[in-house]
Structure 1
Amino acid sequence: MEASQQENGGIISVRRLEPVFIQPEKQPSKGRHVLSNLDHAVVAIMKTIFIYNLDGKTSSEAACDVLKQALAKVLVHYYPLAGRLKQNSDGKLFVECIDTEGVPFVEATADFSIDDLGDITVPDTPKLEKFIYQVPGLENILETPLMTAQVTRFKYGGFALGLIINHCVSDGKSAMEFVCSWAETARGLPLSTPPVIDNSMFMSNKLSPQIKIPAEKFNIVEISDVSNLESQYQKENMVYKSFSFDPNKLAELKKKAMEGDGELKYCSSFTVLAALVWRARSQALKMEPHQKSKLLFTVDIRSKLNTPLPKGFFGNGVVTSECTCTASELSENPFSFAVKMVQNAINKVNEDYIQSYNDFFENIRITTEAPSLIGTLVITSWTRIAFNTADFGWGEATKFGSVVIPKEVCLFSPAKGKDKGGIILILGLPITAMNNFQESMNKV
């Protein structure tokens, strides 16, 4: 198998071997893993790439063998990743864990060096997709493996580890804990955070669900496209860019928010940056004054429950929260208006909210159709997930990136180097809107 792409006037290519299937060294004792309602709320695929240099003593072929052997060992603990997604007569999902093929693992070689790959912070999806393995002919999320791995050896040394993980079985934090456990296993170490694969705390009472929150708060009600937003995306090319906010910039944003409103005594970096991007993006897209604009993001609930989730919980320990107003309210009110809306959306996620969210999805039948996100900005924050820390024996990842960022999504990624402690935001917009957005960012 070979994937090729024109790049700067030349051809860069990645040649793949046929996949082998990695099964856990020991068969799991549980035949199936029941997914929680929180798992059912997330129908998406995570596609990530990690870049590693080698120490000069280990060949890339030997490194690939180490990863393959360690995967078989770590899957004993993370056995759902080797299973297959199934659906029962009620439309609920579960993972069949016994007698499955396992995780497709592909070895590949690139005809270019790590340096030729360049910066992968801003996704060049056609290029980066050559570093992940997607089973040909399987597009339905219910048919594809829950995980695939591809190790691509670069010319002159080093390798890329490309992973696809189904969000139904894991959120970002759990997925990274798995990668770190895989890395520890490769180094012959015991797992520092053994996984807890138990969704019993999210099992709802089907006869008397406790739903105290309106359905629209769970992103069910779609927004009318009164600004012809969809036509902007269809008529113009998408442009992806990154914008860096070092700790000083973030401090200035917080100061601006609190000075503009005497009620704000504290605001986090996430809160001010989310408010800034939501406001600037709505203006960049030239939304009509009465256009509804929604901000949607996930909130980690591991420590928000009265009984916190156990350390190492493997699954989805997040719920979504949102805030909605008109475009005119966003633009005409002070910056602190948007900041307070984001802050309130985070603060409302308490035990009652989580219980209602969980019970609401009890009777929601899974669908592979993505919901309409017209007028919506989705923020995915990776600032508290140390994606580069997995060390398989040759140091931490030198580069890390997402293979694809949907058009409605803005990614918050932790800054490194001299800007450590800051945040890099990455998003895509139609080219005209991106020019408008960049102007707004230049004024910050």
Structure 2
Amino acid sequence: MAATSPLRFSVRRRKPVLVAPAARTPRELKRLSDIDDQEGLRFQIPVIQFYRHVPSMDGYDPARVVRDALARSLVFYYPFAGRLREGDGRKLFVDCTGEGVLFIEADADVELEEFGDNLQPPFPCQEELLFDVDGSSGVLDAPLLLIQVTRLRCGGFIFALRLNHTMADAAGLVQLMNAVGELARGAVAPSVLPVWCREIFEGKPPPTWRPSFAHREYDVVPDTNGTIIPLNEMDHRSFFFGPHELASLRRRLPSHLRRASSTFDLLTACLWRTRTLSLQPTNLDEAYRIICIVNGRGRPGFDLPAGYYGNAFAFPVAVATARELCLRPLAYAVEIVKKTKSEVSLDYLRSVADFMVSKGRPHFTVVRTYVVSDVTRAGFSEVDFGWGKAVYGGPAKGGVGAIPGVASFFVPFVNASGEKGIVVPICLPAEAMERFSREIERLVGDEDGEEQQKAASILSAL
């Protein structure tokens, strides 16, 4: 577990500039898909990469290398150099203006080693490493990417990026980042050429559309407690789940589930249940939700074209009352997470696209909802600009847009002892975080005992 680091340092930034494509690109309007174009993706998502000093790269300026490669990459990925416009029915288009993406060059008076061995969110001075340029954080008529390269005193650097999520998902963003990396290392073109093809997930308006799924992820739910969770005194920590921790959790399942449950199933169920317990729900009959982001890439029946970089995932939701979730064993949560994931198919994603067109592009439900996204296979840490793989690569924090505490990412991680595992950023009110931390420590430790009794003892404090 990692709490906020006390490390403080100063960052000197040059004036932000727009990096345009290095050659002339088409001027056209390109429609986003109706999976891209939903309210729940109209936000900016931050990513951060840390790179060590490499003696063979002495004499090369990472900011210049990345900036030049970015300009050449935008010739292939030219929609990113445009701006979003909104048409009838709130339909989003990319106006491929070629204006460019925002780029910031910076220097920090800190060395990579000062961040410590367990480099994981929350990162100190993050707002200085990915500076919010005035007027840049909107969805419409704003740059679709903001990139800051911060040189470190030791010769390493930090690459930070903010993406308008309507343009790409994690896999699509990594595809673009890899293209920049390949061109930075001397390639003349990306090894995977981008494909737009957003009509794959174009929705049909009524009466053509017939609902195929309930799509409870978009339920309109009254918030009986004023807010999802208190927004004051929020605590941000990361939790590491290595082989020992995951094995301890798996031992708490019956034998048939131990073999049949993926790490995602197990960890998602554990976090959902523990998070709900830690929030101490006052009404045990209220519904709590877990949204398991499921990407269509690589799943049977999808057959997305190589190079497709649009959003290709769904927000399937599992619903349980606080009583069911907290007072039943972990196996109960695992079972419903597995069932929820299994529903996602090509038909499901096309049904979501139809739903967006028919229902006015709603936001997924955030009331008493927790969202998890597994980016362990996205490849962020593999992105190489010439300095090798990232020491840490992936989401800079949890949360969805301006809503803290709603979402967590599963990020691949190697701890100071060399153990490979998963790090999960969590955001909760301070008191709930203490309860969450204690319960996770119990679950991954060697303490035995009935889970229901433990849960009951936590809830009895109400």
TM value normalised by structure 1: 0.89
Contact 2:203/2:356 (8 A) holds in 1? no
- Kindly indicate whether residue 307 of structure 2 is the aligned counterpart of residue 312 of structure 1: yes
Q: Which amino acid aligns with 1:92?
A: K
Corresponding residue for 1:55? 54
Distance of 1:384 and 1:297 partners within structure 2: 15
1:363 to 354, 358, 374: 358
Counterpart Cα distance in 2 of 1:173 and 1:11? 32
Check 1:222–1:388 CA distance in 2 against 1; reply closer, same or farther (3 A cut): same
Secondary structure of 2:84's partner? strand
Deviation of the 1:165 alpha carbon:
0.9
SS at match of 2:200: helix
In 2, Cα distance between the equivalents of 1:63 and 1:138? 23
Aligned residue for 2:195, secondary structure, equals coil
Q: CA–CA distance in 2 between the matches of 1:156 and 1:304?
A: 43
2:250 match? 254
- Distance 1:404-1:254 versus aligned 2 partners, 3 A rule: closer
Greater Cα offset, 196-205 or 383-392: 196-205
Q: How does 1:4-403 map to 2 (within 5 A)?
A: 12-29=9-26, 31-41=28-38, 42-59=41-58, 62-98=61-97, 100-118=98-116, 119-124=118-123, 127-189=125-187, 190-207=189-206, 208-215=208-215, 217-225=216-224, 230=228, 233-234=230-231, 237-259=233-255, 266-287=260-281, 288-304=283-299, 306-365=301-360, 373-403=366-396
3-state DSSP of counterpart to 1:75: helix
* 8 Å CA contact retained: 1:279, 1:331: yes
Structure 1 residue 325 displacement after superposition: 1.0
2 CA distance for matches of 1:147 and 1:108?
17
- What is the deviation of 1:373? 1.7
Q: Which amino acid aligns with 1:199?
A: R
Looking at structure 1, the residues matched to 196 and 168 of structure 2 have their Cα atoms a distance apart, in angstroms, of: 10
Structure 2 CA distance for aligned equivalents of residues 38 and 442 of structure 1: 38
Cα deviation code 1:126-169 (max 9, x no counterpart):
x1121114331444322331101111112232211111111100
Q: Aligned partners of 2:277 and 2:8: how far apart in 1?
A: 39
In structure 1, what is the Cα distance between the partners aligned to 2:234 and 2:90? 36
Q: Report the CA distance shift for 1:11/1:283 in structure 2 as closer, same or farther (over 3 A).
A: closer
Paired residue type of 1:266 = A
Taking a change above 3 Å as real, the CA distance of residues 299 and 225 of structure 1, as seen in their structure-2 partners, is same
Instruction: Tell me how far apart the structure 2 counterparts of residues 248 and 53 of structure 1 sit (CA, whole Å).
Output: 29
| Structure 1 segments of 4+ aligned residues over 6 angstroms from their partners | none
Partners of 1:283 and 1:154 lie apart in 2 by 41
Instruction: Return the letter of the residue paired with 1:27.
Output: R
Taking the TM superposition and a 5 Å limit, the aligned residue runs for 1:404-419 are 404-406=397-399, 407-416=405-414
Q: Within 2, Cα distance between the matches of 1:248 and 1:11?
A: 33
Q: Secondary structure at the match of 2:64?
A: helix
Maintained 8 Å contact 1:92/1:365:
no
| Mapped partners of 2:142, 2:123: distance in 1 | 23
Distance 1:349 1:371, change over 3 A: closer
- Deviation string 1:202-222 (CA, Å, 9 cap, x unpaired) is 12333512322224x233322
Q: After superposing the two structures, state which structure 1 stretch, 172-181 or 139-148, moved more.
A: 139-148
CA distance in 2: counterparts of 1:139 and 1:404, whole angstroms: 16
Judging changes above 3 Å, is the alpha-carbon distance between structure 1 residues 60 and 169 closer, same or farther for their aligned structure 2 residues? farther
Structure 2 CA distance, aligned partners of 1:38 and 1:194?
A: 22
Residue 249 of structure 1: CA displacement?
A: 3.2
- Tell me, in whole angstroms, the C-alpha distance in 2 between the residues paired with 1:85 and 1:59: 39
Q: Distance in 2 between matches of 1:278 and 1:213?
A: 23
Contact 1:174 1:314 in 2 (8 A): yes
Separation of aligned partners in 2, 1:62 and 1:381:
33
Distance 1:14 1:224 in 2: 41
| CA spacing shift, 1:109–1:364, aligned 2, 3 Å | farther
The letter for the 2-side match of 1:274 is T
Moved more, 422-431 or 167-176: 422-431
Q: 1:295-347 CA distances to partner (integer Å, 9 max, x unpaired)? A: 01210112336341122211101111100110000122222111010000000
Count of aligned residue pairs for this structure pair: 427
Identity across matched positions, percent: 29
1:101 and 1:351 map into 2 onto residues whose CA distance is 35
* Contact kept in structure 2, 1:51 and 1:397, CA below 8 Å: yes
Aligned equivalents of 2:259 and 2:366: distance in 1? 33
* Range with greater deviation from structure 2 (187-196 or 12-21): 187-196
The offset of 1:435, in angstroms, is 1.2
Shift of 1:241: 1.9
Cα distance, 1:353–1:246 mapped onto 2, change above 3 Å: same
1-side partners of 2:426 and 2:135: how far apart?
A: 29
Question: Shift of the alpha carbon at 1:372?
Answer: 5.9
Cα offset, 1:113, TM superposition:
2.2
CA distance in 1, matches of 2:43, 2:419: 30
CA–CA distance in 2 between the matches of 1:201 and 1:387? 26
CA RMSD of aligned residues (A): 2.5
Shift of the 94–341 alpha-carbon distance from structure 1 to 2, 3 Å rule, reads same
Question: For 1:269 and 1:382, how far apart are their aligned partners in 2?
Answer: 13
Distance 2:348 2:114 in 1: 48
Secondary structure of 2:316's counterpart equals: strand
Using the alignment, how far apart are the partners of 2:209 and 2:55 within structure 1? 59
SS of 1:428 mapped into structure 2: strand
Contact (CA 8 Å) 1:296, 1:323: kept in 2 or not?
yes
